[in-house]
Structure 1
Amino acid sequence: MRSLLVLSLICLVTILSQAQSPCDKIKYLDKLAMAPAELPVQDFKLFDYNQIPDSVKARLQTEIIRETSAAFFKELTIRSVKYLDSAINEKLFTPVVVLDNDNNPVNFVYAIFYEMKFKGEIPFVFKLEVKQNGELLKKGQFEGIVNQKKKIIPCTKALSIAAADKEAPITKPGDIYIYYNQTYKTIVWQIMEADNATGNSQHVTVINVFDGEILERNEFLKGMTNFDNE
């Protein structure tokens, strides 16, 4: 009887240890439900980075190093690339006027998603909007990202903060994102309430990754969980 009980406990511990927590499935900017930028990246089309001309890649490398450093560029990896051209733009419900740093109209732009790592090997994804010739669409796209020395609070800590929120606690977390929030000029944890069978929206809590401050409480319509265009 005792051996059976011990075996049952071992099985339970094994199952619990294998169970995934929400923090095991963190999502990044390239999978974000709502595009945190002026351009409608959710409507861009996927593109193969290898198809970008070498001359364009070389200019982009120069641009990134000029804005950051060679060491920073060396640590980057490509996650995905999307593009917007005039043909795609014309088909949008609300076409946009794309302007560069000098307010000149641009008919083609790449959105290149790069992955880097902060202290503690925490992955982070950011987006660069780039002209067809490899020039950055606008300056200042590395704001809040480069030379960040502060320690990032872990996902588990962000979950506890969201759960303890007296105004709108999230006790059953669903999707979790980490991305640069342009409104608050900082990187954030975005924790979505787990989907349920009732209601048309899901509660969302946005938390500063550096100090744990709750910056925003929102409601997202269900179904808006991914803007990847396959």
Structure 2
Amino acid sequence: MKSLPGISLFCLLSCLSQAQSPCDKIKYLDKLAMAPSELPVQDFKLFDYNQIPDSVKSRLQNEIIQETSAAFFRELTIKSVRYLDSVINEKLFTPVVMLDRENNPVNFVYAIFYEMKFKGDIPFVFKLEVKQNGELLKKGQFEGIVNQKKKIIPCTKALTIAATDKEAPITKPGDIYIYYNQSYKTIVWQIMEADNTTGDSQHVTVINVFDGEILERNEFLKGMQEFDNDL
């Protein structure tokens, strides 16, 4: 039988281990650099949601409800807002051409980050690109997101999958993200190998949150995963 001090030490180490788990510090889409195929949201400027005209908010609400449901909209909370206009765009190293759903050029776009929760109170942040008048820039921005009835694998399960991957295991997990991956049209866990002092890249494993399939194994340049102007 273990002594009382021994039991106490075991409990303390166990609690510390749990407190330091990467799953306690999950990062979301508003801190993740966009894929090259998307607008460069990391270069958008912060904006106060309260400063958006009520008429624009009303139109956006109607657009969201039309694409999803009133119940879905009620569950959303605003996490942050950014915008890109022609002045900001012209200063970018590589200016982008912004087109709406009819392929008409657009000079102003809001990127509004909403937070929702899956079953089990697992938070998730997604982005909507919105025209200045409140109209969704593109249709289909809710693909793979709107069905909240799906049960997703927890972060701890994703860590186990990454660690036991025979091809390229994550031996020491670092940052963990959950976001919608446009390439695979699904929500993913992205697990980064913990930073090291050598080399200029880190190994990354991307896992489908619904079935645990490893979708991608690649190298990610250090310092490229977060916005320069964090919230």
What range describes the TM-score normalised by the shorter chain of this pair? over 0.9
TM-score, scaled to structure 2: 0.94
The answer to whether the Cα contact below 8 Å between 1:44 and 1:229 also exists between their aligned partners in 2 is: no
The answer to whether the Cα contact below 8 Å between 1:78 and 1:114 also exists between their aligned partners in 2 is: yes
- AA aligned to 1:63 is E
Deviation at 1:13, TM superposition (A): 1.7
The answer to whether the Cα contact below 8 Å between 1:27 and 1:177 also exists between their aligned partners in 2 is: yes
Deviation at 1:133, TM superposition (A): 0.6
In the alignment, structure 2 segments of 5+ residues that lack a partner are: none
Residue 54 of structure 1 corresponds to 54
CA distance in 2, matches of 1:198, 1:61: 48
1:176 partner SS: strand
The answer to whether the Cα contact below 8 Å between 2:34 and 2:41 also exists between their aligned partners in 1 is: no
CA distance in 2, matches of 1:46, 1:23: 27
- 1:114-168 Cα deviation digits (max 9, x unpaired): 0001111111110000000101001110001112432101111110110111111
Are 1:189 and 2:184 counterparts?
no
How many residues were matched structurally? Answer: 228
Residue 163 of structure 1 corresponds to 163
Within 5 Å, which residues of 2 pair with 1:1-230? 6-18=4-16, 19-35=19-35, 37-227=37-227, 229=229
The answer to whether the Cα contact below 8 Å between 1:131 and 1:137 also exists between their aligned partners in 2 is: yes
- AA aligned to 2:4 is V
The answer to whether the Cα contact below 8 Å between 1:159 and 1:191 also exists between their aligned partners in 2 is: yes
1:158 partner SS: helix
Q: Identity over the aligned pairs, expressed in percent?
A: 84
- AA aligned to 2:69 is S
CA distance in 2, matches of 1:64, 1:182: 19
CA distance in 2, matches of 1:217, 1:206: 6
CA distance in 2, matches of 1:147, 1:208: 15
Does 1 or 2 have the higher relative contact order (CA < 8 Å, sep 6+)? 1
CA distance in 2, matches of 1:228, 1:81: 15
1:127 partner SS: strand
The root-mean-square deviation of aligned C-alpha atoms, in Å, is 1.7
1:125 partner SS: strand
The answer to whether the Cα contact below 8 Å between 1:35 and 1:41 also exists between their aligned partners in 2 is: no
The answer to whether the Cα contact below 8 Å between 2:76 and 2:114 also exists between their aligned partners in 1 is: yes
1:218 partner SS: strand
Deviation at 1:102, TM superposition (A): 0.2
